[in-house]
Amino acid sequence: MPPTSTQPARLSEAPAGGVFRVVRVDAESQDADRLKAMGVCRGRRLSLIQNGDPLIVCVVGSRVGMSSRLADTVYVELECLPSPPSEA
């Protein structure tokens, strides 16, 4: 289920182009340390650039590749979705 502003979901299930806030990380110690080194931790805001394996997130101004296995341990809430392109 995709995340909403009140219902967290796994980052791996989030729609590309959205902006999210990390609400929980359920990773083992080594993976939690890896995520923290990438800047992914509770309370952090991030953008999902690309879904897949790896998925690409923008966090603290840097683009980071992340395996879907690792993204499964990150729970996010939706902050905003991209605006649809306007017709000119």
> Confidence class of residue 86 from pLDDT cuts 50, 70 and 90?
low
Instruction: Name the β-bridge partners of 80.
Output: 19
| pLDDT for position 67 | 96
Q: Considering the entire predicted model, what is its pTM?
A: 0.85
Burial status of residue 58 (CB atoms within 10 A of its CB: 0-12, 13-18, 19 or more): middle
Side chain identity at residue 67, one-letter code:
S
Residue 87 lies in a domain: no
Taken as a whole, the chain contains a residue count of 88
Provide the number of structural domains found in the chain: 1
Q: Give pLDDT tens digits for 59-77.
A: 999 999 999 999 999 999 9
Residue 85 lies in a domain: no
Residue 67 lies in a domain: yes
Residue 30 lies in a domain: yes
Q: Residue 62's domain spans which residues?
A: 9-80
Give the tokens for residue 42.
């509770």
Residue 49 lies in a domain: yes
Q: Give pLDDT tens digits for 33-52.
A: 999 999 999 999 999 999 99
CATH number at residue 29: 2.30.30.90
